[in-house]
Amino acid sequence: MRPSRRDFLKLASVCGISLSVSPVASAEVPDVAARETLPGRGVSHPALGRVDGVAKVTGGKLYAADFRAADLPGWPATTHHALLVRAPDATHLYEGLDLAALPPEATPTLVVTAEDIKRIGARVPEFYAGDLFCPVGTTPLYLGQPVALLLFETFDAYDVARVAFRDGNLLKFGKETGPRTGANYGAFRFTRVAGAEPGAPDIYSPLQEGWISPGFVDSGSGRPIWRVLPDEKGPDYVKGAAYGEAIRAELEAVNPSVLTLDRSFATQSVDPMFLEPETGLAWYDPAAKKLDMVIGVQSPFEAAEAVAHLLGEVQADHKPGAVNTRFCYVGGGFGGRDHTPFPLYVALAALFFPGRPVRLAHDRFQQFQGGVKRHAFKMRSQIGVDRKSGLITAFAADHVLDGGGLANYSVSVAVVGATGAIGMYAIPKVDVTTVAEHTRGVTAGSMRGYGTLQTMTALETLVDEACTALALDPIEFRRRNALKVGARTMTGNPYSVSVRAPEILDKLQTQAIWKDRAREKAAARSGFLIGTGVACAAKDYGTGADCSLGAVSIDPQGRVSINSDAVEMGNGIGTALANRVATHIGAIADEVTVAQIDVFDELELVTSGDPYSISQADQDQAARDPHWVPAISSATSASIGAHVGTQAAAEAARVVFRFGLWPAALALWGVAPRDPRAERWTEAYWQGETLLFSGLPPLPLKALAAKAHEQGGVTGAMAHAFSRWAWAEATFALPEGEWSAEIDALAVRRGSGGYQRLDRKAVAFPPADYNRIGTAFASMCGTSVRIEIERATGNLRIAKAYSVLECGKTLVPEVVLGQAQGGFAMGVGYALLEDLPPFEEGPGNGTWNLGQYVVARGSDLPLHDLDIEVLPPLAANEPPKGMAEVVMIPVVPALLNAIFDATGHRFYALPVTPAMIKGVLA
Amino acid sequence: MTMLSLTINGRAVGPLDVRPDLSMNDFLRERLGMTGTKFGCGAAQCLSCAVIVDLDDGTSVTKPTCVAPALDFNKQKIRTVEGHAVNGVLTPLQLSFVEHFAFQCGYCTPGFLNEGQVLLERLEREKVAREDLERTIMEALDGHICRCSGYVKYHQAVRDVILADPSRFLTA
């Protein structure tokens, strides 16, 4: 099965349960100054900054953690509480809870266990396959696996029990069994052999031949057997692996003209450490048979569908007929809230406590114990470099990922990490194997960088080592080897977006940190070492099946409203939407509502199949239905926020302009329909809220809006867009003329009427074969750092840092800058501070919190010496590119390379601590 | 249960019965519904839960609420993020946070806001030299964790409020 980074939701009813999704309704809190600061509602001051800025500095209720039953209209007033108890042991039989040890006032009203889940017939969604609760008499599948859900009438009872479970030993375990074993989550091999000449067809590539997996695993270790066996299953693997083995043989052969390095590198598990622990609130109304939920996730559609699947076949007396899920702003995500099983437990808490609103909230210990983690990688990398030309001749690597207890996104992370393993380089021969393993560790999944942080860190330190060995300038080396526009990536396809390595490298080379490195090193204070490091990254954005839903409308007074399915998680998506729409219709929106699904019903979308694995024939057949799209909605991740999240709204805004505001302008100017100027709408432009066109009087937006309404023009549009490394394109017939755009569904509103769906006349979905592409979208970033190390202690100070990136058109420059600064901080933490040991000593034991787990603070960073430079777009119409992940990646290898420059020692595992540095200086 | 009375944002609250071990954070969020004060770690490490305590001598400090019993705040006067703006008018620091895009997800913002406000008020009483300003801001804010922003803009936002009115906060 082709791994999917983002699943999709088939709308309409699921398993007989009707689904709806909405933003959180407005709420007022007793005894607190009245405010209405929910997403898209009430006061917004975009002119001051972010559209959510005022709410966030006034304590507005925005996050799932902020809501209680009393805040929600129509709900019972009292909130009840649930405690999710997790196993700190995965090597002994679980024998139940010692509830007698709880203080009497902390006795739960109800205890939900695996037995109860089985009894009512709840089903685990495929993505979360594995027991939701560890059954009594079974060894937990993984550390941190839930064993029971305790339900309490009052907060005080819950709180006392929470502390008792945290501080006491209230789970009973029996005989030692050792950890449970499980099959690998997935294994792939990516091999490419370029043609003999530049531009010649590849001899072998995943794009040409498809993706391959080995047929056998070692019976002892469970690891895949990568070499070709005599009775290998399937010729595809034999063919690809034969090329791969030839590359490895070439790298291992003695060849004096080629420098070969063979290194191992290990990265650690870390926690996303978003500041708002996962929280949810739910109420099952048995009379109405309706389940209402309030949650904060990056993947709203997926969460809604997962809950529906969970409850789809439960006993009739438990089964809701409808599930309404409300989505909040999230207090940080970084991938860790993308496909989290947490909403399933929120739903179960409500279902087993009918009639009572129930709140399930992780504290930080529980979040460490149960939240999704970044994968720890073990990597072996081999690189060959021609000594004379300095060109990379071949690269091979083997990656092993610790996926933890549930599959989650492990296979997908393995694939993205593997296909990103050659970073920004053009390498003619590449062979990378990757396997994601099941272990008893806490489940690993999506997190910023998504596998490439690990593999590009290994790569960029290896490249630095090669440069040292060959006495080549690291920037010049990268310039020689950088992938050029039009050249093929390791899956055999070129990027379809700009490739700006030369500019990034030029910037790095001429910036003061790199230019002055020798002088600064020589001027080190007594007792200190100075080092400079540089690194680059080219990071994909997009998943190969990305969707965008957006609607834009304007009222007679010129007030603009935007609706979007994207989720605000700090990425500034609301502000980005407002800014991108404003480029088309002049005004910053008065209202931006995010995380919406139910306002797009008029598009009447249907879907079928898996967008990642659908055949061309099936896609062609399905596309005959004008309602069909390959997928309806996808999760929000920071790296696709600008590119994907704003696409549908931007296209909707263009429709409003073309068929609403532009005809209004013509009428106000008195330009007749047959006047040649009537077709020159693309030449009009906005200065603020005034429309300008050469030779004609400026027109204010308010007048245009009023006229558009008066003459029944288009005053609202909603659209759906789909990208599989290219946007789907469709043509629609409007009375005013045909309209072709990078969308696949459109509805329009005229005057103050309702939305009317338009059947597309023609559509071109990206070919199904594009699913063989690793990525076609990438952004680049380079980082240089200067560090100072105290010899006596090993303490490291980052004296100066510089990051230069390109991301096409920047929708909100301040947000891009903030993401780059935040990415730098997270990179520093990953390189130098953060570490979660595996298994029993790690977070699954339930004792981890901040303090023990160290993230970067302000004093760890060069706050006043961090220079971020964003390259201007290549052209005025260059689309926005994802950038929130790439900015983190080069920070890590740049720091490691700087440590080598300072100390002469290379570290091959993360994090690098002062004690380790002191150790090599002794 | 023990009785608790205190003043929050200028308004008297209580007396209310509370458990002796009920945290101040839970008192604010669960009992009063004042969820502007956040819960981050429960270990006084991230300080997203910090509130301002106004002392009798006219000075103020911030205190984490996640590990402190509510009863520790008995008879005290505190300020929370909900109490900064008056009649919808943002304070200079709130405005500066918004204008600088200081935060991203915003979950840590109440703690930074309270800490920054206490710093501004302290500097009004105890001015510092311009060359010590960045260090002073760092020392004030460094206990707070922000996972999104990289801290740069928070520091710039506080600094720019001070530099906008130097005679109020800085020595000549």
Calpha distance A287→A745 (Å, rounded):
38
Q: Does A47 touch chain B (CB under 8 A)?
A: no
| Token code pair at residue A777 | 């979208």
pTM for this predicted structure? 0.93
- CB A32 to CB B33 under 8 A? yes
Q: Which of A419, A442, A410 is nearest to A183 (CA)?
A: A410
- CB B109 to CB A569 under 8 A? no
A768 Cβ contact partners less than 8 Å away, ≥ 6 residues apart: A614, A615, A616, A618, A619
Calpha distance A549→A755 (Å, rounded):
15
State the DSSP string of B84-126.
SSBTTBPPHHHHHHHHTT--SS-TTHHHHHHHHHHHHHHHHHS
Answer yes or no: is pLDDT of A446 > 90.
yes
Answer yes or no: is pLDDT of B117 > 80.
yes
- Residue B77, class by beta-carbon neighbours within 10 Å (0-12 exposed, 13-18 middle, 19+ buried)? middle
User: Which chain B residue has its CA at the smallest distance from A819's CA?
Assistant: B149
Judged by phi (left if over 0) then psi (alpha if -120 to 50, else beta), residue A467 lies in: alpha
Answer yes or no: is pLDDT of A249 > 60.
yes
| Token code pair at residue B142 | 């460094």
Nearest 10 degrees: Cα torsion A678, A683, A688, A691: -20
Pairing of strands A322-327, A755-758: unpaired
Residue positions counted in chain B: 172
| Token code pair at residue A109 | 């009203």
Q: Which domain holds residue B134?
A: 92-169
pLDDT per residue over A587-618, tens digit each? 888 888 877 767 898 999 999 999 999 999 99
Domain boundary among the residues B48, B63, B82 is at B82
Calpha distance A343→A147 (Å, rounded):
16
- CB B105 to CB A569 under 8 A? yes
Q: Per residue, what are the HEC states of B127-167?
A: CECHHHHHHHHHHHHCCCCCCCCCCHHHHHHHHHHHHHCHH
Contact A399, A406 (CB under 8 A): no
Calpha distance B152→A330 (Å, rounded):
21
What pLDDT is attached to residue A9?
A: 34
Enumerate the residues of chain B whose CB falls inside 8 A of the CB of residue A817.
Answer: 101, 153
Confidence of residue A231 (pLDDT cuts 50, 70, 90): confident
- CB A822 to CB B113 under 8 A? no
Q: Does B84 touch chain A (CB under 8 A)?
A: yes
What pLDDT is attached to residue A22?
A: 53
A752 Cβ contact partners less than 8 Å away, ≥ 6 residues apart: A556, A709, A715
pLDDT per residue over B20-75, tens digit each? 999 999 999 999 999 999 999 999 999 999 999 999 999 999 999 999 999 999 99
- Tell me the pLDDT of chain A averaged across its residues: 92
The three-state secondary structure class of A98 is coil
Calpha distance A224→A134 (Å, rounded):
28
Q: How far is CA A888 from the centre of its chain?
A: 13
| Token code pair at residue A538 | 């080219």
Confidence of residue A489 (pLDDT cuts 50, 70, 90): very high
- Domain match, B96 and B75 both: no
| Token code pair at residue A411 | 């296979």
- CB A815 to CB B101 under 8 A? yes
What pLDDT is attached to residue A220?
A: 86
- The single residue listed with the structure tokens 């003329």 is A737
Could you give phi then psi for residue A442, rounded to 5 degrees? -60, 140
Distance from CA of A383 to the nearest CA of B (A): 34
- Domain match, B99 and B157 both: yes
What pLDDT is attached to residue A189?
A: 98
B87 found inside a domain: no
Partner-chain residue, chosen from A160, A815, A858, that has the shortest CB–CB distance to B151? A858
Could you give phi then psi for residue B73, rounded to 5 degrees? -100, 10
Confidence of residue A860 (pLDDT cuts 50, 70, 90): very high
Partner-chain residue, chosen from A57, A58, A61, that has the shortest CB–CB distance to B35? A61
pLDDT per residue over A387-413, tens digit each? 999 999 999 999 999 999 999 999 999
Number of Cβ within a 10 Å radius of residue A386: 14
Beta bridge partners of A437: A402
Give residue limits of the domains in chain A.
70-179+281-361, 188-269+374-541+775-921, 546-772
- Domain match, B78 and B96 both: no
Enumerate the residues of chain A whose CB falls inside 8 A of the CB of residue B155.
Answer: 858, 863-864
Calpha distance A714→A723 (Å, rounded):
26
Answer yes or no: is pLDDT of A6 > 70.
no
| Token code pair at residue A507 | 């910037």
Q: Which of A533, A338, A540, A534 is nearest to A444 (CA)?
A: A338
User: Which chain A residue has its CA at the smallest distance from B147's CA?
Assistant: A274
Confidence of residue B129 (pLDDT cuts 50, 70, 90): very high
Contact B62, B116 (CB under 8 A): no
Contact A593, A661 (CB under 8 A): no
Task: State which H helix or E strand residue A364 sits in.
Answer: helix A364-370
Stretch A678-690: mean pLDDT, rounded?
Answer: 94
When mean pLDDT is compared across A411-420, A567-576, A614-623, the lowest value belongs to A567-576
User: Which chain B residue has its CA at the smallest distance from A863's CA?
Assistant: B152
Contact A429, A194 (CB under 8 A): yes
Calpha distance B48→B105 (Å, rounded):
12
Task: State which H helix or E strand residue A783 sits in.
Answer: strand A778-790
- Domain match, B107 and B73 both: no
Could you give phi then psi for residue A54, rounded to 5 degrees? -65, -45
Number of Cβ within a 10 Å radius of residue A918: 16
- The single residue listed with the structure tokens 């990056």 is A298
Confidence of residue A386 (pLDDT cuts 50, 70, 90): very high
Stretch A509-523: mean pLDDT, rounded?
Answer: 98
What pLDDT is attached to residue A2?
A: 33
Calpha distance A632→A8 (Å, rounded):
7
Q: Which amino acid is at A664?
A: A
Confidence of residue A43 (pLDDT cuts 50, 70, 90): very low
Beta bridge partners of A552: A562, A717
Enumerate the residues of chain B whose CB falls inside 8 A of the CB of residue A275.
Answer: 38, 40, 46, 48, 105, 107-108, 145-147
Fold exhibited by the domain A188-269+374-541+775-921? Aldehyde Oxidoreductase; domain 4 (3.30.365)
Answer yes or no: is pLDDT of A69 > 50.
yes
Answer yes or no: is pLDDT of B84 > 80.
yes
Q: Where are the alpha helices (DSSP H) in A168-234?
A: 206-209
Contact A147, A133 (CB under 8 A): yes
The three-state secondary structure class of A537 is strand
Answer yes or no: is pLDDT of A500 > 90.
yes
What pLDDT is attached to residue A20?
A: 61
Range 276-335 of A in CB contact (< 8 A) with B: 276-277, 329-334
Contact A427, A178 (CB under 8 A): no
Answer yes or no: is pLDDT of A26 > 80.
no
Contact A717, A747 (CB under 8 A): yes
A706 Cβ contact partners less than 8 Å away, ≥ 6 residues apart: A556, A557, A558
Domain boundary among the residues B55, B82, B109 is at B82
B118 found inside a domain: yes
Stretch B106-131: mean pLDDT, rounded?
Answer: 98
Answer yes or no: is pLDDT of A646 > 60.
yes
Q: Is it true that A70-179+281-361 and A188-269+374-541+775-921 share their CATH fold?
A: no
Partner-chain residue, chosen from B99, B106, B151, that has the shortest CB–CB distance to A863? B151
- CB B30 to CB A855 under 8 A? no
Partner-chain residue, chosen from A33, A65, A850, that has the shortest CB–CB distance to B39? A65
- CB B104 to CB A822 under 8 A? yes
The three-state secondary structure class of A436 is strand
Q: What is the share, in percent, of chain A residues with pLDDT greater than 90?
A: 83
| Token code pair at residue A829 | 């933490």
pLDDT per residue over A272-310, tens digit each? 999 999 999 999 999 999 999 999 998 888 898 899 999
- CB A59 to CB B48 under 8 A? no
Answer yes or no: is pLDDT of A14 > 80.
no
Q: How far is CA A223 from the centre of its chain?
A: 28
- CB A859 to CB B142 under 8 A? yes
β strands within A387-428, DSSP E: 392-402
| Token code pair at residue A585 | 């219709």
Q: Does A68 touch chain B (CB under 8 A)?
A: yes
Tell me how many residue pairs between chain A and chain B have CB atoms under 8 A apart.
212
Give the number of C-alpha atoms closer than 13 A to the C-alpha of residue B47, restricted to the C-beta side. 19
Number of Cβ within a 10 Å radius of residue A645: 34
Distance from CA of B131 to the nearest CA of A (A): 13
Enumerate the residues of chain A whose CB falls inside 8 A of the CB of residue B106.
Answer: 52, 55-57, 62, 329, 331, 570
Range 140-159 of B in CB contact (< 8 A) with A: 141-155
What pLDDT is attached to residue B172?
A: 85
Partner-chain residue, chosen from A30, A274, A863, that has the shortest CB–CB distance to B152? A863
Calpha distance B120→B88 (Å, rounded):
20
Enumerate the residues of chain B whose CB falls inside 8 A of the CB of residue A70.
Answer: 33
- Report how many domains make up chain B: 2
B133 found inside a domain: yes
Q: Does A273 touch chain B (CB under 8 A)?
A: yes
| Token code pair at residue A511 | 């910036």
User: Which chain A residue has its CA at the smallest distance from B135's CA?
Assistant: A859
Could you give phi then psi for residue A381, rounded to 5 degrees? -125, 140
A785 Cβ contact partners less than 8 Å away, ≥ 6 residues apart: A513, A532, A533, A534, A798, A800, A801, A802, A891, A894, A895, A898
A546-772 has which CATH code? 3.30.365.10
- Domain match, B77 and B99 both: no
Domain boundary among the residues B48, B64, B82 is at B82
Stretch A372-386: mean pLDDT, rounded?
Answer: 98
Calpha distance A288→A171 (Å, rounded):
37
Contact A579, A811 (CB under 8 A): yes
Rg of chain B over Cα atoms, rounded to whole angstroms, equals: 16
Confidence of residue A170 (pLDDT cuts 50, 70, 90): very high
- Secondary-structure class of domain A70-179+281-361 per CATH: alpha beta
Q: Which of A297, A292, A306 is nearest to A279 (CA)?
A: A297
Q: How far is CA A403 from the centre of its chain?
A: 17
Please provide the distance, in angstroms rounded to a whole number, between the alpha carbons at the two ends of chain B.
Answer: 53
B154 found inside a domain: yes
Task: Check which CATH number belongs to the domain holding B17 and give it.
Answer: 3.10.20.30
Beta bridge partners of A882: none
What pLDDT is attached to residue A161?
A: 98
Range 20-79 of B in CB contact (< 8 A) with A: 21-22, 26, 30, 32-43, 45-46, 48
B59 found inside a domain: yes
Task: Check which CATH number belongs to the domain holding B129 and give it.
Answer: 1.10.150.120
Calpha distance A264→A399 (Å, rounded):
10
CA dist A343 to A280, A292, A337, Å? Answer: 7, 12, 10
Calpha distance A896→A902 (Å, rounded):
10
